[in-house]
Amino acid sequence: MKKLAVVAIGGNAVNRPGEEATAENMMKNLSETAHFLVSMLDEYDIVITHGNGPQVGNILVQQDLAKHVIPPFPLDVNDAQTQGSLGYMIALTLGNELRKKNIERQIAAVVTQIVVDKNDPGFQKPSKPVGPFYSKEEAEKLHQEKGWIMKEDAGRGWRRVVPSPIPLDIVEKDVIKTLVEKDVIVIAAGGGGIPVIQENGALKGVEAVIDKDRASALLAKEIEADILIILTGVEKVCVNFKKPDQRELDHLTVEEAKKYLDEGQFPSGSMGPKVEAAIDFVTSTGRECLITDMAVLDKALKGLTGTRITK
């Protein structure tokens, strides 16, 4: 019997650093991503999640530039837009790769709402980087002119940050489970899901971007996945990242991961949420999480590289 994996693909799978964010480039990159994902299917059933930080940020820029002509949409609606567009692109490229390999599988992208707490402190302290990178001078200008909150993102430049509440429940979880049981490859919780709150017996969208790794951990728990796989731009998790004494980690226990988090080894805009998501999933289920680069996924699944987090 195949194992069930939730595979969280990072921004690099959609847009490479420094690359123009065109639909053509995104399709090209996702075609490569599809190749790696299809290679898993002999041993795993997969549910795919993806980020949307660069894409939703770009929509915000577009809407800001056009606000005198067309009223901007709230952030939750923009989250939904990126779920639809990226879900389509992943389904299309994945389907083409399946046809190339003569594999018959159905694919479904589920627009996913995720419940958050309206009193979550994340609404008061924006932390989720979105959109393009700016120089310090550009960031200061944008803050003064537009009131955007800007933060440095792991030494890569400055980005706009928006609220990022903790995901609590997945509205469509039973639909996703049913599709998985019917052997469908599911794309879900894209961009961390669309954040909604419960108010007077109804759901209401809120302006935020949920971290996709935290949402992926929640989804993995909800559908009882055997493993959570977080794909990122590095082969292994490192301590003292980009310093002379940088050290790659093959394995982390939950306690070791918590210790490094407390020491500030994993920045909140990059590796921090990935390690937090791993801790959450592993602590709750007793199963394992793998963090690695998509290009070495095959080797990592065989235990030859990557960082595994276990209880």
Q: Which residues are catalytic?
A: 11-12, 128, 212, 274
- Return phi, psi of residue 250, to 5°: -80, -35
CA–CA distance, 238 with 293 (Å, rounded to integer)? 13
Separation of CA 288 from chain center: 18
Where is 2: in which H helix or E strand? none
Q: State the Cα–Cα distance between residues 25 and 23, nearest whole angstrom.
A: 6
Separation CA 310–CA 285 (nearest Å): 10
Distance of CA 88 to the CA centre of its chain: 16
Range list of β-strands (E), 135-285: 150-152, 158-162, 169-170, 185-187, 194-199, 202-205, 227-232, 237-239, 247-249, 251-253
- Kindly state the tokens that stand for 201: 């017996």
Count other C-beta atoms under 10 Å from residue 238's C-beta: 18
